[in-house]
């Protein structure tokens, strides 16, 4: 049984190549493949910019972190970006302690991430 994670999608007005994705639940080894497939589908559909809203992401482990780094790299290869916003304190700590804050684009609010789009 996979850990619970839901991905909710929203278009960003004025940014046709951008999709906002709300992560709801826990991101771990049991559901990274599902998340990988869904986000890769967005890249393949031409959404080269992804804004990940982590307001309701309760938990992430190293496997989940690995996939976030992969999304960031994949987006850059497509001249796009994978931006993260609204990260809760616990999730941020896991990202921070291994030094991944320098590899991921992290914003306090979704609006800031949208404003940073090229």
Q: Which residues bind another protein (CB under 8 A)?
A: 1-3, 26, 28-30, 36, 59, 61-63, 65-67, 69-70, 72-73, 89-90, 93-94, 97-100, 103
Neighbouring CB atoms inside 10 A of 99's CB total 8
Nearer to another protein among residue 75 and residue 110 (C-beta): 75
CA distances (Å), origin 67, targets 11, 41, 43, 75, 115: 22, 14, 14, 12, 25
Report, in Å, the least distance between residue 4 CB and another protein.
9
List the beta bridge partners of residue 7.
23
Report, in Å, the least distance between residue 28 CB and another protein.
7
Going by C-beta distance under 8 Å and a sequence separation of 6 or more, which residues neighbour residue 109?
Answer: 85, 86
Nearer to another protein among residue 12 and residue 36 (C-beta): 36
**Total length of the chain:** 118
Nearer to another protein among residue 10 and residue 93 (C-beta): 93
Closest among 99, 96, 29 to 67, alpha carbons compared: 29
The DSSP bridge pattern shows strands 105-107 and 5-12 to be unpaired
Report, in Å, the least distance between residue 33 CB and another protein.
10
Report, in Å, the least distance between residue 50 CB and another protein.
15
Nearer to another protein among residue 92 and residue 107 (C-beta): 92
């Amino acid at each position: 049984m996979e850990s619970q994670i839901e991905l909710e999608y929203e278009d960003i007005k004025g940014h046709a190549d951008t999709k906002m994705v709300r992560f709801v639940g826990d991101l771990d080894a049991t559901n990274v493949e599902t998340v990988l497939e869904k986000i890769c589908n967005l890249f393949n559909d031409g959404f080269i910019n992804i804004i990940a809203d982590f307001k309701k992401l309760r938990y992430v482990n190293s496997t989940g972190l690995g996939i976030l780094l992969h999304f960031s790299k994949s987006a850059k290869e497509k001249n796009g970006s994978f931006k993260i916003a609204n990260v809760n304190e616990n999730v941020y700590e896991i990202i921070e302690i291994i030094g991944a804050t320098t590899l991921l684009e992290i914003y306090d609010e979704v609006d800031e991430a949208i404003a940073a789009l090229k």
